[in-house]
Structure 1
């Protein structure tokens, strides 16, 4: 079985690397940025699934307070992930002229995702 902490750290690093790459790409390199970011989102989806499975496996042993906090954190993480998916869609649909604006929106969404991820990881930490 995969170590959940190692897996989470690997996905976070890949996601951060992809975000940094997106920030460094010019409008002419947009397709490569899209590909890298899509791969990172796919890995994030898999990590969210693993996190949800850990929570489900331990649900009966969690306190009501922990259940509520964990559910809220996971919901926020999914919301932020969906926002990143929307940004990816804008990136795919946007032309070269909109590239800088899209990258700026990506940066904001990425910061919110990192915050939600940290919170969800802390809340589910009791179920590692």
Structure 2
């Protein structure tokens, strides 16, 4: 039941984010774009050796910044549409925000570990970060697929 509510909440928020309640702008990014960017980042990261850690960290930092900007736009849209939402939609929107923040925090923890990892721990940290980032990306994709 909890997963169903989460999917419903993600769906409501994705409708706000990707469903066009507001005019689309050049900075809007579709779930398909997010999926492709995630795939590219994770494939690129997979190819980096421990000796290339600095470059890998720069790439992941750039991807995290882009995701954070999307999250901020999403939160702004929720705030702008708040008055037109019913109580259930408000509750769902806040639940989705909490869940995405929780997942984003996990990604941040793995990013810190990746950034500070030793040569011996590099592969483990890459794998952990990649799984965590993929989970965060999947949450966006799952919700947006409700509207395709």
1:79 aligns with 2:107: no
Contact kept, 8 Å, 2:31 with 2:141, in 1: the verdict is: no
Superposition TM-score, scaled by structure 1 size: 0.81
Return the match for 2:66 from 43, 48, 73. Answer: 43
Gaps in structure 1 of 5+ consecutive residues: none
Cα separation, partners in 2 of 1:38 and 1:88, compared to 1, 3 Å: same
Number of residue pairs matched by the alignment: 124
Cα separation, partners in 2 of 1:119 and 1:71, compared to 1, 3 Å: farther
Q: Please identify which structure carries the higher helix content.
A: 1
Aligned partners of 2:64, 2:98: CA distance in 1, in Å? 16
Q: Counterpart of 2:116?
A: 93
Aligned partners of 1:117, 1:56: CA distance in 2, in Å? 19
Residue 116 (structure 1) shift: 2.9
Aligned partners of 1:11, 1:111: CA distance in 2, in Å? 10
Higher relative contact order (CA 8 A, sep 6+): 2
Superposition TM-score, scaled by structure 2 size: 0.71
Give the root-mean-square deviation of aligned CA atoms: 2.5
